[in-house]
């Protein structure tokens, strides 16, 4: 069976980490501090290599660094350099843990990822968790208990709330993904991955909006044919739509349109 294109993202064997100077926490982002705390509390089963954007070296030197995934938690002005360096290392996927990245800067990051040939979860993602791998590459809380349920959310805040509830009620997860706005890896792409993920027996989706309805419905259909899928929608009222739209930067659409789409699939 062919490997899914998001396997290097969600099932990495090795990670290269860009979090800024670890001996100067005052210069690190909140996402970097949370990420490092999580990795210290629950060490990843694979290999982690810390790197700095000031790293210099020839392609031959960088070729000695092996990584499936780059995890980047840096100030906005340093993210592009980290993405370029990740490309030189030839990672297959990258995660950018950040907030407040606008559409123009996000598009530039997407272009780097496309040119360098890797998938990008971010910017503005709050990361993901894979309990079976003991991997908490997120800023949304402690590593979840291992289970068979996947959670995919377009809201980092709601993800954190669900995680708190799950911990209190002893609910485990196979995967937790907090997408955020402007991410290159879309909700549809994550659903496509989870449809064939052997650790996942059911999927819960919190959806604020969809930019490509055709791709989303195709991925939703495939996932629902393979395992149970529950979709929770934001923006059920006009005020809700107004609140959700600036955050998701996607097309929320009318309540009737999305209700009809979900009933069919």
> What are 67-113's pLDDT values in tens digits?
999 999 999 999 999 999 999 999 999 999 998 899 999 999 999 99
Show the 3-state SS of 40-59. HHCCCCCEEEECCCCCCCCH
Length of the chain: 265
Q: For domain 7-264, is the CATH number 2.60.40.10?
A: no
From CA 202, how far away is CA 193, in angstroms rounded? 13
Percent of the chain topping pLDDT 70: 85
The tokens describing 255, both together, are 């309540």
pLDDT digits (tens, 9 = 90+) for 192-237: 999 999 999 999 999 988 878 889 999 999 999 999 999 998 765 4
Domains of the chain, residue spans = 7-264
From CA 67, how far away is CA 22, in angstroms rounded? 20
What stretch of H or E contains 93?
strand 93-97
- Is the CB of residue 32 less than 8 Å from the CB of residue 20? yes
Q: What is the pTM of this model?
A: 0.87
**Which residue, 53, 111, 60, 64, is CA-closest to 86?**
53
Strands (E), 131-184: 135-138, 146-153, 173-178
The tokens describing 127, both together, are 């990361």
């Amino acid at each position: 069976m062919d490997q899914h294109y998001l396997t290097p993202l969600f099932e990495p064997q090795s990670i290269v980490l860009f979090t800024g100077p670890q001996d100067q926490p005052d210069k690190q982002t909140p996402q970097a501090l949370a990420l490092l705390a999580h990795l210290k509390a629950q060490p990843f089963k694979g290999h982690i290599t810390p790197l700095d954007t000031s790293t210099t070296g020839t392609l031959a030197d960088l070729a000695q660094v092996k990584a499936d995934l780059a995890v980047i938690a840096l100030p906005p002005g340093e993210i592009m350099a980290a993405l370029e360096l990740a490309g030189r290392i030839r990672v297959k996927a990258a995660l950018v843990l950040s907030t407040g990245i606008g559409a123009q800067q996000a598009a530039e990051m997407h272009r780097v990822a496309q040119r360098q040939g890797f998938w990008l979860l971010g910017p503005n993602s709050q990361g993901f968790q894979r309990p079976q791998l003991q991997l908490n590459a997120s800023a949304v809380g402690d590593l979840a208990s291992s289970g068979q349920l996947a959670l995919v959310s377009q809201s980092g805040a709601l993800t954190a709330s669900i995680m708190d509830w799950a911990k209190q009620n002893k609910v485990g997860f196979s995967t937790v993904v907090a997408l955020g706005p402007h991410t290159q890896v879309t909700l549809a792409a994550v659903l496509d991955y989870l449809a064939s993920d052997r650790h996942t027996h059911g999927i819960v989706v919190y959806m604020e909006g969809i930019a490509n309805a055709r791709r989303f419905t195709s991925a939703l259909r495939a996932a629902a044919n393979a395992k149970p899928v529950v979709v929770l929608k934001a923006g059920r009222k006009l005020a809700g739509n107004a609140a959700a739209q600036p955050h998701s930067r996607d097309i929320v659409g009318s309540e009737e349109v999305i209700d009809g789409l979900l009933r069919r699939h």
